[in-house]
């Protein structure tokens, strides 16, 4: 996981990294502990691709940074959609699993490029790295300081670039469904995956974005269907996704 722009600050939470590192080898199992992400991923990717730039600032393809990429589930999908992707995660196990999966299942012809890097967003920002799009799926609720994290993500964007954030709202519904239901009753996620108090409301996310020089472009709810797929909705009470533009 990942980040901010201060020399001393890091939004990487060691306990969070340890928890997700332990799941790295099972990340690509669609029936394993990450099965909710597998089910959600087509919606996340299609929604993101509708809102990120059509063309890159410095080349025909869009350069995209996938923050907290884990074992590369979203990174591979974004590359298959034609973007040049860098997957970044602070978990060595996650990055190793991502590279192994890419070696085993190479991208098809016509896809964008894909590379992985172990580290934090702060480190990348200090190097002056810039991207047309930054993708932060299900990560902001795991960092140490979400406001500082948003500031770093903004720093990593080209002028006019797009930030996509998906996360969980802090409501009674998300406590009942996203935490208690998913982790303890239905066992869809390993126990302890989420800390409800760290969920981020849309109002808080918007405030962090404005402070970081970002304007909101679009926001939508993400809801599971009875068939197990996910659909876009107006219901922001549990899962939601938002697009921001750098001023």
pLDDT in tens, 3-48: 334 455 688 878 888 888 988 999 999 999 899 999 999 999 999 9
Residue 68 lies in a domain: yes
Q: Is 9 among the annotated ligand-binding positions?
A: no
Residue 215 lies in a domain: yes
Residue 129 lies in a domain: yes
Radius of gyration of the chain (CA): 16
pLDDT in tens, 104-115: 999 999 999 999
Residue 78 lies in a domain: yes
| Structural domain of 108 | 14-246
Q: Is 149 among the annotated ligand-binding positions?
A: no
Residue 88 lies in a domain: yes
Residue 27 lies in a domain: yes
pLDDT in tens, 169-193: 999 999 998 888 776 666 777 777 7
pLDDT in tens, 204-217: 999 999 999 999 99
Q: Is 89 among the annotated ligand-binding positions?
A: yes
pTM of the entire structure?
A: 0.92
Report the CATH number that the domain containing residue 66 is assigned in CATH. 3.40.50.150
Residue 242 lies in a domain: yes
Q: Is 32 among the annotated ligand-binding positions?
A: no
Encoding tokens for residue 155? 């720093």
pLDDT in tens, 73-108: 999 999 999 999 999 999 999 999 999 999 999 999
User: Would you say 190 and 36 are in contact if contact means Cβ atoms under 8 Å apart?
Assistant: no
139-169-74 Cα angle (round to 5): 35
**Which pLDDT does position 192 carry in this prediction?**
73
Residue 147 lies in a domain: yes
* Number of other residues whose CB lies within 10 A of the CB of residue 110: 7
In total, how many domains does the chain have? 1
CA separation for the pair 170, 172 (Å, rounded): 7
């Amino acid at each position: 996981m990942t980040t901010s722009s201060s020399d001393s600050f890091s939004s990487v939470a060691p306990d969070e990294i340890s928890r997700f590192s332990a799941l790295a080898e099972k990340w690509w199992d669609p029936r394993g502990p990450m099965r909710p992400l597998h089910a959600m991923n087509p919606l996340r990717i299609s929604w993101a691709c509708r809102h990120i730039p059509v063309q890159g600032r410095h080349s025909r393809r869009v350069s995209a940074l996938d923050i907290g990429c884990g074992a590369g589930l979203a990174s591979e999908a974004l590359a298959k959609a034609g973007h040049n992707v860098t997957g970044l995660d602070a978990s060595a196990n996650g990055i190793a699993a991502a590279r192994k999966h890419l070696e085993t299942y190479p991208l098809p012809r016509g896809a964008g490029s894909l590379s992985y890097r172990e580290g934090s967003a702060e480190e990348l920002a200090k190097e002056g790295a810039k991207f047309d799009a930054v993708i932060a799926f299900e990560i902001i609720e795991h960092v140490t300081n979400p406001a500082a994290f948003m500031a770093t993500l903004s720093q990593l964007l080209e002028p006019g670039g797009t930030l996509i954030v998906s996360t969980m709202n802090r409501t009674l519904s998300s406590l009942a469904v996203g935490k208690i239901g998913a982790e303890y009753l239905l066992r869809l996620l390993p126990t302890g995956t989420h800390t409800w108090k760290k969920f981020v409301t849309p109002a808080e996310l918007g405030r962090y974005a404005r402070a970081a020089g970002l304007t909101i472009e679009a926001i939508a709810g993400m809801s599971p269907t009875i068939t197990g797929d996910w659909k876009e909705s107006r219901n922001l009470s549990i899962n939601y996704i938002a697009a921001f533009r750098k001023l």
